[in-house]
Chain A
Amino acid sequence: MRKDRYSIFSLARNAVSYHQDWSEAWRSPEPAPSYDVIVVGGGGHGLATAYYLAAEHNVGRIAVLEKGWIGGGNTGRNTTIVRSNYLWDEAAHLYEKSLKIWEGLSQELNFNVMFSQRGVMNLGHTLQDMRDIYRRSNANRLNGIDSEILTPAEIKAKVPAMNVSSEARYPVLGASFQPRGGVARHDAVAWGFARAADARGVDIIQNCEVTGIRREKGAVCGVETSRGYISAKKVAVVVAGHASVLADMAELRLPVESHPLQALVSEPLKPVLDTVIMSNAVHGYVSQSDKGELVIGAGIDAYTGYGQRGSFSIIEGNVAAIVELFPIFSRVRMLRQWGGIVDVCPDACPIISKTPVSGLYFNCGWGTGGFKATPGSGWVFAHTVARDEPHELNAAFDLDRFTTGALIDEHGAAGVAH
């Protein structure tokens, strides 16, 4: 399946023909009766999984089944922050693998995902925040992950718009800074993986909802869908907020709960913020997109919900936090808000795991921080599915940890937000 190679030259060549000759980024095939691997969920993680299954594991026929349109869930709804400055070794190594892939992803996929390494700053507002920042930054360094600790003056130099006054209610005492962190164009990640997977023969089937998981003798044999039964040797489920719903189809119980997570953008502004800013204590994160919008998020709504919308009070608190940090944003206007559904694990770390059902795999529980992991998640999940055993990078992220107690608790470590 030959695709146009994207470049300034192909753009110029196609301009001559008024862009009539571009080929499809991905086909829209009818589902085949059977596949070697079915990936359920056409978000970034699912498409990345399919891509790496095809590109690195030679597993034969692969399909991605998406109930709506690809990239329509959390992939297209998040605030696009990418970083790997997690505290615990297991999380740090997984996210760092992902960050390393991000650094060459546009070239690998031949699709500009606009990964922009403008740096991610995690602010500290209390003495305990600063202890945690030292602990995490120190761990990052020793794990080979870039990290710096900034003073308020250094923060002010990088982010002149921020209020670093000691008179603030929760003054900024310092920050950790990961220069290699940044943001990416979220839709492009889904599209880029879809196009590259399609080019390697993966069938991407949209508007195809999985309604049942068929099993025989403890092993998976296929899925019921809104477009009929499709048999499969292996089924890899990566459906974010709906993980419990899919698990229920296989009579599994998961330690996740689905919550609304909201985000918002301002009207576009001329460049005013070059860095990604995150604050747990003042509770918000903000970056400025290439289009000029301030992209803002905060924490989840407390209650469970599948409605892709949350409560206005969360937005109010979130905006107050951002104005508290950036008083000059007060007269800027909020353009649009939206919500997604995130499935949250008790230890704020994902599950990338085999299940008690042979041939059935789950990748879920990313909570509020899944976007940054997209390529790494797909990479380790593809390995897990293809080899029927986890890669060493995701071995600790199995379901069993909830039984043994070997949680990877990122809650205490400022790693939890986003």
Chain B
Amino acid sequence: MTSARRLQSGGLVDRSRRIRFKFNGRDYFGHPGDTLASALLAQGVRLFGRSFKYHRRRGVVGAGAEEPNALVQVGEGAYSTPNLKATQVELYDGLTARTVNGWPSLAFDIGAINNRLSRLLPAGFYYKTFMWPKSAWMRYEHHIRHAAGLGRTPSLPDPDQYDKRHAHCDVLVVGAGPTGLIAALGAARSGARVMMVDEQSQLGGSLLSAPAVIGGQAGLDWAGEVEAELRALPEVTILSRSTVTGYYDHNFLSVNERRTDHLGPAQSDTPGSRERLWRIRAKQVVLATGAIERPLVFDGNDTPGVMLASAVSTYIHRYAVAPGRSGVVFTNNDSGYQAAIDMSNAGMEVRAVVDVRMTAGADVAKTVADMGIPVYLGYVVPSVQSGLQGLKRIEMAKLSADGRAILSHKGLVDCQVLAVSGGWSPVVHLHSQSGGRPCYRESQACFVPGTSVQDERSAGACAGSFSLAACLQEGADAGVSAAAQSGWPGGYVDIPVAVERDEAPLQPLWEVPAGALAGDRVKKFLDFQNDTTASDIRLAAREGYRSIEHVKRYTALGFGTDQGKLGNINGLAILAETLGKSPGEVGTTTFRPNYTPVTFGTVAGRALGEQLFDPVRKTAIHAWHVRRGAMFENVGQWKRPWFYPREGEEMHAAVNRECLATRSSVGVLDASTLGKIDIRGPDASRFLNLLYTNNWDNLQPGRCRYGFMLGEDGMVMDDGVTTCIASDHYLMTTTTGGAAAVMSWMERWLQTEWPELKVYLTSVTDHWSVMSVAGPNARAVIKTAGCDRNLDAEAFPFMSMQSGEVAGIPARISRISFSGESAFEISVDANQGLALWEAIMTAGRDYDITPYGTEAMHVLRAEKGYVIVGQDTDGSVTPVDLGMDWIVSKKKDFIGKRSLSRSDTDRPNRKQLVGLKTQDPSRVLPEGAQLVNTPQAERPVPMVGHVSSSYYSAHLGHSIALALVKGGLSRMGGTIYAHLMDGSVVPATICSPIFFDPENERTKS
């Protein structure tokens, strides 16, 4: 294997070192500095891929982000990455790459039959067929799906890491070509904090691709000096291999930095991230993003060997690769001539420059003439001829003065490379994303940035200034003024001299008329990846799809992974001609982020996995639960013990055991996760009166009260027990999941509606460890653990709180019960939580104290008919619906009160909370089961309610359920039917939701 096309000298590749890689299973080599595309071109490879729809052979067209054809799957196994552009993949040892389309092989692709059938497959053909028979679409679609798609998703999880950094800067310069470099320098010398972001592996931009002289020295040498000065400045950050992918509101920009891909996956074992997402807030932005050359539109313009003229120059200058033995240039502007000069200097035989115009710029014309290259003015290339490996020869023909017809056939010219230039499209993407509206500049036939909406300005080629001298001038001005506007007025830079060429203007030619050799399958491509042709655009317009957005969507123009960087301008210009409008009137489609694709992993960053997707909250006693073998339940962000299975014990056995132990002796629950809000201030009780449905005026210090909080819509939002610690000091508990929302809710009312109330809130959820010791022996256990308070019922009644010590630990002890047992809730400093828990467990040993989890807690509370907000309520339930009218004050106002008297909220037949007993006592209804009045019914079946909580009560010896049933409170003793998912119908009897100890004798004891 030799590098047949590698030049002997020049370029930015290190010929002293070989890098071996595989492409489609074959071995190749390249050099440091190569991209996959340049190395393959160097070895004579011309066929890079197949197109999406017609599976036509495609070669490399560009040399960067604009490449639509050369898409590859790079790497193996977990490191396999789909859809990379070969023009952007830097070589590393052992790289493997495959083309993404083409089956069974790239050279012989069965899908190419579509090319033969292409007349049946115009734009939008799929909207017109595949409709018969009605059931068959899924079959058609199956085949379409398998034919579509590009690369493959890796089959293994990604071993790499990604991270994010936040940065603020005074001036962000996007692009490090001559414009960006001088802008950064001008800005940085002011002392401003400057960031410069560039997508290439080294700075220089267009200077990497073309010879240039700046200030009397080689362009890259000048760039090197600027870079050195910038790097020496402490406030300057330079990011290479980094792309500004999105420009968002308030000058926020996202940058994708690719940190290790050029090293290969072997390096990924070293610590650090593969890619980084920079989130940058810039005071001022300088866009120096350059321009992208556009292809010319003629029959067969997608043939391998037809390349952008600038790409040809890039391969020659940067990579020292001559992409063929012989070449022709086809252009409508002066810049295309450079490719002829470069090809000739690289030893290629340049057989012609075909120029649409009647006049070329004097300087380039002279240079080319001096080199002996024939120039054909007023000529075009209407078609090409190709073999299996791509371009063989081109047709040359004389164009009519109006550009609409071929006057005469000139003949065929053999060549392997056709370098095309249709002019340049400024990269206005980021300007557009920032809110600017690009406008059409007739003289250059391109869209340039419009009025700035955010603090940004465009300079150089991306602003339509294509000469090097203009780029340097504009870049310097932009950098200095951006720094000044960001508060750093001292920037300066001398503008070095650059040679100005005598240029003749571009002559737009959006479509080359078909030539003498045109067959009946003329195809002039606009979007190479999606196979959108010029005739597709006209068909769309003919059928009424005339907005550029309609045309785009109907023809798929610009929907490829290159996002229309090459072809959109040609498409909209052809649409404009078809509609008799100017391109400016047609306008562009919206430029959306990302400028180039960004790895999902990068966007996600570190926010993944068990630890970091969402923070895990654990109680101070968590480690004990783990040692005890608890199964956990996610409740909000918390991990709560769900149940504690003994060896070999399944869930229901464990829950039954935990419930029975609590009812018969004593159980203990880690209740630390309940939200806790410390409320202080002279107006605290007034505030509670507004928040809760019941009255708080008469709660004495040391007493506790249960309350419902409603939304202003009257629906139950949260509940909990609040304790009066002093007349101006309360401790509120909330549900575990609702804690943060309730805190915000209270703060908001205080700050925005009732700022006159003197109330101060502190979230103390994490400050306290709380355990509920419940059961007939609870009191005895606490006494055994050691407590300095008299725990007897008379001295320490239900719903009261006392401060004291338990097991020598200062504690708040409350007689609160969610289990229906005689219970003590003990709160201690979270740091002491585990110590107290262990002390209680030790003290309870003789009583067979049993830790119980959330499931047993649910059963115990359901036996008592206590609701869980969010399970037995769903945002459409009032306290009245729950049968708790007694908790709703008629006298005072509170949040949500007025909503309770609305006609629908006040109506009698609403869904109301009831209990259910299945007629087969062992049958436990599924939670969520729908309830129906009759055992049989036609669908749709009228549903009258649903089961919200349902358990087997080991203590009662039968199943119990809570349900919301239409008019349920007036249906006690009636029968209702659960129609289950498995088709069975389970009868149940409506009963009171309180199944156990309705007189509260236990809780009070």
Q: In their complex, do chains A and B touch, with some C-beta pair under 8 Å?
A: yes
Contacts of A125 in B (CB 8 A): 634
Interface residue? B932 (CB, 8 A): yes
Contacts of A118 in B (CB 8 A): 138
In the bound assembly, the distance between CA atoms of A10 and B162 in angstroms comes to: 52
- In the complex, the answer to whether A128 meets B149 with C-beta atoms within 8 Å is no
- In the complex, the answer to whether A89 meets B940 with C-beta atoms within 8 Å is yes
Given the known interface contacts A26-B544, A412-B874, the answer about A126 and B601 at a Cβ–Cβ threshold of 8 Å is no
Option from A191, A290, A327, A405 in Cβ contact (under 8 Å) with B141 = A290
Given the known interface contacts A18-B119, A69-B550, A333-B83, the answer about A106 and B604 at a Cβ–Cβ threshold of 8 Å is no
How far does the Cβ of A164 sit from chain B's closest Cβ, in whole Å? 13
- In the complex, the answer to whether A187 meets B145 with C-beta atoms within 8 Å is no
Option from A25, A93, A136, A329 in Cβ contact (under 8 Å) with B940 = A93
Given the known interface contacts A24-B542, A267-B597, the answer about A134 and B148 at a Cβ–Cβ threshold of 8 Å is no
Contacts of B125 in A (CB 8 A): 11
Interface residue? A226 (CB, 8 A): no
Contacts of B150 in A (CB 8 A): 267-270, 292
Interface residue? A229 (CB, 8 A): no
Contacts of B767 in A (CB 8 A): none
The interface stretch among B206-214, B377-385, B901-909 is B901-909
Contacts of A106 in B (CB 8 A): 131, 134, 137
Which residues from 777 to 798 on chain B have a C-beta closer than 8 Å to any C-beta of chain A? none
Contacts of A26 in B (CB 8 A): 544
The interface stretch among B2-10, B698-706, B922-930 is B922-930
The interface stretch among B151-159, B386-394, B670-678 is B151-159
In the bound assembly, the distance between CA atoms of A135 and B950 in angstroms comes to: 13
Which residues from 89 to 147 on chain B have a C-beta closer than 8 Å to any C-beta of chain A? 119-120, 122, 125-132, 134, 137-138, 141, 144-146
In the bound assembly, the distance between CA atoms of A209 and B81 in angstroms comes to: 46
In the bound assembly, the distance between CA atoms of A337 and B597 in angstroms comes to: 10
The interface stretch among A140-148, A350-358, A369-377, A379-387 is A140-148
Contacts of B601 in A (CB 8 A): 323, 330-331
Give the total of B residues in contact with A, Cβ under 8 Å: 108
Give the most central of A24, A27, A333, A403: most B CB within 10 Å.
Answer: A333
In the bound assembly, the distance between CA atoms of A386 and B471 in angstroms comes to: 63
- In the complex, the answer to whether B120 meets A12 with C-beta atoms within 8 Å is yes
- In the complex, the answer to whether B248 meets A7 with C-beta atoms within 8 Å is no
In the bound assembly, the distance between CA atoms of A27 and B81 in angstroms comes to: 46
In the bound assembly, the distance between CA atoms of A132 and B929 in angstroms comes to: 10
Interface residue? B249 (CB, 8 A): yes
Which residues from 605 to 635 on chain B have a C-beta closer than 8 Å to any C-beta of chain A? 605, 607-611, 613-614, 616, 633-635
Contacts of A104 in B (CB 8 A): 134
- In the complex, the answer to whether A114 meets B928 with C-beta atoms within 8 Å is no
Contacts of A187 in B (CB 8 A): 553-554
In the bound assembly, the distance between CA atoms of A292 and B604 in angstroms comes to: 21
Interface residue? B979 (CB, 8 A): yes
How far does the Cβ of A308 sit from chain B's closest Cβ, in whole Å? 9
In the bound assembly, the distance between CA atoms of A150 and B126 in angstroms comes to: 34
Interface residue? B594 (CB, 8 A): yes
The interface stretch among A45-53, A236-244, A314-322 is A314-322
Given the known interface contacts A134-B981, A316-B603, A322-B600, the answer about A139 and B875 at a Cβ–Cβ threshold of 8 Å is no
Given the known interface contacts A24-B544, A144-B939, A324-B609, the answer about A131 and B598 at a Cβ–Cβ threshold of 8 Å is no
- In the complex, the answer to whether B594 meets A319 with C-beta atoms within 8 Å is no
Contacts of B158 in A (CB 8 A): 327-328, 330-331
Q: Residues 388-418 of chain A: 1 if any B CB is under 8 Å from the residue's CB, otherwise 0?
A: 0000000000000101111101011100000
Contacts of A71 in B (CB 8 A): 550
Interface residue? B466 (CB, 8 A): no
Given the known interface contacts A320-B603, A404-B903, the answer about A76 and B597 at a Cβ–Cβ threshold of 8 Å is no
In the bound assembly, the distance between CA atoms of A191 and B554 in angstroms comes to: 10
- In the complex, the answer to whether B930 meets A412 with C-beta atoms within 8 Å is no
- In the complex, the answer to whether A328 meets B157 with C-beta atoms within 8 Å is yes
Which residues from 360 to 392 on chain B have a C-beta closer than 8 Å to any C-beta of chain A? none
In the bound assembly, the distance between CA atoms of A117 and B160 in angstroms comes to: 36
Give the most central of B634, B926, B946: most A CB within 10 Å.
Answer: B634
Give the most central of A191, A324, A335: most B CB within 10 Å.
Answer: A335
- In the complex, the answer to whether B598 meets A333 with C-beta atoms within 8 Å is yes
- In the complex, the answer to whether A268 meets B149 with C-beta atoms within 8 Å is yes
Option from B131, B152, B979 in Cβ contact (under 8 Å) with A7 = B131
In the bound assembly, the distance between CA atoms of A271 and B146 in angstroms comes to: 6
How far does the Cβ of A98 sit from chain B's closest Cβ, in whole Å? 16
In the bound assembly, the distance between CA atoms of A43 and B545 in angstroms comes to: 15
- In the complex, the answer to whether B547 meets A170 with C-beta atoms within 8 Å is no
Interface residue? A336 (CB, 8 A): yes
Given the known interface contacts A268-B149, A327-B158, the answer about A168 and B127 at a Cβ–Cβ threshold of 8 Å is no
In the bound assembly, the distance between CA atoms of A336 and B870 in angstroms comes to: 37
Interface residue? A272 (CB, 8 A): yes
Option from A25, A168, A324 in Cβ contact (under 8 Å) with B544 = A25
- In the complex, the answer to whether B547 meets A206 with C-beta atoms within 8 Å is yes
Contacts of B79 in A (CB 8 A): 331
How far does the Cβ of B613 sit from chain A's closest Cβ, in whole Å? 4
In the bound assembly, the distance between CA atoms of A399 and B874 in angstroms comes to: 22
Option from B82, B279, B543 in Cβ contact (under 8 Å) with A267 = B82
Option from B127, B153, B932 in Cβ contact (under 8 Å) with A269 = B153
Give the most central of A7, A27, A288, A331: most B CB within 10 Å.
Answer: A331
Contacts of B633 in A (CB 8 A): 126-127
Interface residue? B803 (CB, 8 A): no
- In the complex, the answer to whether B120 meets A409 with C-beta atoms within 8 Å is no
Interface residue? B876 (CB, 8 A): yes
Contacts of A266 in B (CB 8 A): 597, 600
Q: Residues 712-732 of chain B: 1 if any A CB is under 8 Å from the residue's CB, otherwise 0?
A: 011000000000000000000
Interface residue? A115 (CB, 8 A): yes
- In the complex, the answer to whether A332 meets B594 with C-beta atoms within 8 Å is no
Q: Using CB atoms, name the residue of chain B closest to A21.
A: B542
Given the known interface contacts A6-B127, A112-B130, A312-B248, the answer about A22 and B980 at a Cβ–Cβ threshold of 8 Å is no
- In the complex, the answer to whether B544 meets A409 with C-beta atoms within 8 Å is no
Which residues from 540 to 575 on chain B have a C-beta closer than 8 Å to any C-beta of chain A? 542-547, 549-550, 553-554, 559, 561, 563
Given the known interface contacts A107-B134, A268-B561, A337-B592, the answer about A169 and B151 at a Cβ–Cβ threshold of 8 Å is no
Contacts of B131 in A (CB 8 A): 6-7, 106-107, 110, 112
Interface residue? B593 (CB, 8 A): yes
Interface residue? B899 (CB, 8 A): yes
In the bound assembly, the distance between CA atoms of A6 and B126 in angstroms comes to: 10
Q: Using CB atoms, name the residue of chain B closest to A147.
A: B981
Interface residue? A291 (CB, 8 A): yes
Option from A23, A28, A407 in Cβ contact (under 8 Å) with B876 = A407
- In the complex, the answer to whether B153 meets A272 with C-beta atoms within 8 Å is yes
Contacts of B547 in A (CB 8 A): 68-69, 72, 206
Option from A18, A333, A412 in Cβ contact (under 8 Å) with B600 = A333
In the bound assembly, the distance between CA atoms of A12 and B254 in angstroms comes to: 48
In the bound assembly, the distance between CA atoms of A361 and B79 in angstroms comes to: 56
In the bound assembly, the distance between CA atoms of A6 and B125 in angstroms comes to: 9
In the bound assembly, the distance between CA atoms of A167 and B634 in angstroms comes to: 12
Q: Using CB atoms, name the residue of chain A closest to B159.
A: A330
- In the complex, the answer to whether A138 meets B597 with C-beta atoms within 8 Å is no
Interface residue? A59 (CB, 8 A): no
Residue pairs across A and B with Cβ atoms less than 8 A apart, 9 shown, are: A138-B926, A142-B939, A142-B940, A269-B152, A291-B149, A324-B608, A336-B592, A337-B592, A337-B593
Which residues in A have some Cβ–Cβ distance to B below 8 Å?
6-8, 10-12, 15, 18-20, 22-28, 68-72, 76, 89, 93, 104, 106-107, 110-112, 114-118, 125-128, 130-139, 141-144, 149, 161, 163, 167-170, 185, 187-188, 191-192, 206, 266-272, 282, 288, 290-292, 307, 309, 311-312, 315-317, 319-320, 322-324, 327-338, 346, 401, 403-407, 409, 411-413
14 further contact pairs, Cβ within 8 A, besides A69-B550, A336-B563 = A135-B929, A187-B554, A267-B83, A267-B561, A268-B52, A268-B150, A269-B150, A320-B608, A323-B600, A324-B608, A329-B153, A333-B83, A336-B593, A411-B875
The 7 closest A-B pairs by CB, nearest first: A292-B149, A134-B928, A135-B928, A330-B158, A412-B874, A333-B597, A69-B547
